[in-house]
């Protein structure tokens, strides 16, 4: 009897020991401290990375970044391609165990489009019939939006016109569902760890500002048994050198980026950990057209663009295979990339033209232009800004000051147009030129950083949005980009690649042009 008791005690001890109950933990670098986790209030990549783990839309990304069914297990598209009927999975649940219903999407999309929500990304849902007019306040009744629940598991969506990229747009966080009861009960505090209810692979456990965000596996998620990482920590680290040190010390399993001046060292010393791949995005400087220096000054704007040597910036500063950008839209499906006409000129000719346009704009050595570049805190952004300022000084004689701000403050300055020149980057929300060009429509609002307005650009983009023929649609967008490049409200610098360091223990990572890597597809070797 005693032996049996001892054996049972030993078995109980082993089952409860740290080895038996050891959880799988992943530590991810995530750049800046998140602005917010409210899916209708956020606008940056640091937030989106976390939101993809917490929430799931009708469609979602696979490990390869490609579209696959999410909450909707299937959908039907009408012959005229204007009506989508989504059939929700019966096992889709919120983290509190309640079923995810079609009404959750109706409520979420109405909230996203409501003028009082003031979402920067409301335009993502504008292809839906009635969505744009409701978002702009022209229509007051939310029932006018073309989305309705036919029953708890069937959602019907009516579009204004056929929209080939509509399903891709639904991968964006603006199209996720939200739990109505939780939002209405807690208001702006609904995303606090003690309140947040999510429907993705993870749930929010802890948020220590400037330190870490902890997510734990959601046991009610439909794929919970297949999710290999139990706990994921998102670590905000704006200083890339510090992030590299943390990775080398084993404190991080995945980095958000690497320091540009360490690229050569990383390639030589950490070749197996280094992941570098094309990315659907463009790094650029936006010129505030409300500022006196740039308003009605296309020649000056072009002079500043021509004075930048993009080849030197990508070869000597960024050093990670970035592609010098003389146009706005990167390589995307079904679109011919456009470029500034001056791309065909050699460096000497571009420099001479820059000086000529600068002088014609009324500036000289005796009367130099004085500018300020705003960038969010990052060694990589600082190095590029220093280099650009030096080029403007050498070629044109421009005097440039640099101003850096932490992510949240930077976003506030950007939205209030409190800058002359601002460092920015745009990552495609879906693999289509429209996600880049739509940023500069006159009515987009805060997400149009230059406050650019051009009636011909708007007309061409509207033509593309109403065009069912793929070739004619692409041609209209290409013409629109040529109008944009002629006006030069922005200075494209390069098309992105992504740089990450991965611990050899991390499994399931697949490089992709969207740079989307949901934790649910990752694992850690024992």
What is the three-class DSSP state of 150? Answer: strand
- d(C-alpha 437, C-alpha 457), whole Å: 9
Q: Which helix (H) or strand (E) holds 57?
A: none
298 and 356 part of one domain: yes
Q: What is residue 526's predicted lDDT score, i.e. its pLDDT?
A: 85
CATH classification at residue 214: 3.90.76.10
64 and 212 part of one domain: yes
506 and 493 part of one domain: no
Write down the residue that tokens 């001056």 correspond to.
Answer: 342
187 and 216 part of one domain: yes
CATH classification at residue 322: 3.10.105.10
- d(C-alpha 58, C-alpha 49), whole Å: 18
Number of domains forming the structure of the chain: 2
- DSSP letters of 221-235? STTGGG---SEEEEE
Has residue 262 been placed in a domain? no
127 and 203 part of one domain: yes
302 and 196 part of one domain: no
> Residue 183: exposed, middle, or buried by beta-carbon count in 10 A (0-12, 13-18, 19+)?
buried
509 and 466 part of one domain: no
Has residue 242 been placed in a domain? no
Write down the residue that tokens 């934790």 correspond to.
Answer: 519
- d(C-alpha 48, C-alpha 39), whole Å: 8
- d(C-alpha 8, C-alpha 85), whole Å: 56
Residue 84, token pair as written in the block:
């989508």
Mean pLDDT by 10 residues, the chain (526 residues): 40 43 90 94 93 98 95 97 97 98 98 95 95 95 97 98 92 96 97 98 97 98 97 95 96 95 94 94 97 96 98 93 96 93 96 98 96 94 97 98 95 94 93 93 86 97 89 96 98 96 97 95 94
Give which of 54, 161, 196, 97 is closest to 469, Cα–Cα: 161
Say which residues have a Cβ less than 8 Å from residue 118's Cβ, sequence separation at least 6: none
Write down the residue that tokens 């072009």 correspond to.
Answer: 302
Q: What is the pLDDT of residues 161-203, one digit of tens each?
A: 999 899 999 999 999 999 999 999 999 999 999 999 999 999 9
Give which of 240, 218, 213 is closest to 49, Cα–Cα: 213
Alpha carbon of 165 to those of 68, 81, 354, 426, 478: distances in Å?
A: 14, 11, 39, 18, 17
User: What distance separates the 2 farthest-apart alpha carbons in the chain?
Assistant: 101
DSSP H helices in 347-438: 347-360, 379-395, 407-415, 434-437
Write down the residue that tokens 């690649």 correspond to.
Answer: 497
492 and 517 part of one domain: no
Spacing of C-alpha 285 from chain mean position: 17
197 and 315 part of one domain: no
Domain that holds residue 109: 22-223+502-524
Determine contact, residues 83/77, Cβ cutoff 8 Å: yes
Q: Per 3-state DSSP, what percentage of the chain is helix, strand, and coil (rounded to 5)? A: 35, 20, 40
490 and 514 part of one domain: no
483 and 508 part of one domain: no
| β pairing state of 370-376 and 399-405 | parallel
Determine contact, residues 404/420, Cβ cutoff 8 Å: no
430 and 317 part of one domain: yes
Handedness of CA 510, 513, 517, 518 (dihedral sign): negative
């Amino acid at each position: 009897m005693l032996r049996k008791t001892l054996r049972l005690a030993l078995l109980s001890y082993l089952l409860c020991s740290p080895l038996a109950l050891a959880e799988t933990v992943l530590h991810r670098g995530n750049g800046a401290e998140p602005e917010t986790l409210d899916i209708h209030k956020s606008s940056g990549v640091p937030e989106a990375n976390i939101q993809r783990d917490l929430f799931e839309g009708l469609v979602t990304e696979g490990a390869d970044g490609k579209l696959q069914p999410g909450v909707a297990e299937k959908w039907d598209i009408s012959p005229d391609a204007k009506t989508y009927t989504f059939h929700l999975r019966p096992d889709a649940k919120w983290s509190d165990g309640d079923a995810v219903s079609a009404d959750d999407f109706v409520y979420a999309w109405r909230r996203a489009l409501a003028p009082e929500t003031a979402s920067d990304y409301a335009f993502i849902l504008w292809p839906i019939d009635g969505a744009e007019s409701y978002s702009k306040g022209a229509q007051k009744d939310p029932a006018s939006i073309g989305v309705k629940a036919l029953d708890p598991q069937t959602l019907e969506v009516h579009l204004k016109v056929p929209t080939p990229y509509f399903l891709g747009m639904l991968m964006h966080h603006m199209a996720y569902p939200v739990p109505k009861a939780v939002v209405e009960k807690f208001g702006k505090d609904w995303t606090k760890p003690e309140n947040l209810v999510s429907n993705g692979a993870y749930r929010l456990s802890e948020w220590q500002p400037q330190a870490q965000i902890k997510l734990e596996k959601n046991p009610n998620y439909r794929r919970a048994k297949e999710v290999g990482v139990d706990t994921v920590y998102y670590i905000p680290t704006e200083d890339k050198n510090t992030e590299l040190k943390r990775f080398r010390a084993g404190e991080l399993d995945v980095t958000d980026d690497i320091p540009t001046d360490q690229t050569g060292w990383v390639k030589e010393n950490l070749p197996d950990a280094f992941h570098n791949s094309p990315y659907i995005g463009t790094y650029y400087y936006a010129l505030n057209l409300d500022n006196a220096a740039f308003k009605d000054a296309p020649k000056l704007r072009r002079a500043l663009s021509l004075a930048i040597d993009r080849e030197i910036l990508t070869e000597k500063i960024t050093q990670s295979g970035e592609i010098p950008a003389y146009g706005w839209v990167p390589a995307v499906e079904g679109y011919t990339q456009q470029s500034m006409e001056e791309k065909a000129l050699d460096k000497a000719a571009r420099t001479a033209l820059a000086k000529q346009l600068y002088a014609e704009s009324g500036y000289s050595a005796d009367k130099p232009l004085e500018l300020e570049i705003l960038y969010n805190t990052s060694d990589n952004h600082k190095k590029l800004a220093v280099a650009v300022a030096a080029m403007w000084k050498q070629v044109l004689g421009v005097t440039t000051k640099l101003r850096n701000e932490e992510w949240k403050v930077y976003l506030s300055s950007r939205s209030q147009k409190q800058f002359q020149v601002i460092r920015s980057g745009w990552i495609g929300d879906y693999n289509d030129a429209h996600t880049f060009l739509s940023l500069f429509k006159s009515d987009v609002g805060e997400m149009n950083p230059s406050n650019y307005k051009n009636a011909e650009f708007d007309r061409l983009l509207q033509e593309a949005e109403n065009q069912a023929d793929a070739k004619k649609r692409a041609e209209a967008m290409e013409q629109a980009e040529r109008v944009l490049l002629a006006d030069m409200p922005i200075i494209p610098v390069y098309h992105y690649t992504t740089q990450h360091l991965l611990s050899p223990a991390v499994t399931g990572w697949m490089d992709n042009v969207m740079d989307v890597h949901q934790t649910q597809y990752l694992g850690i070797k024992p």
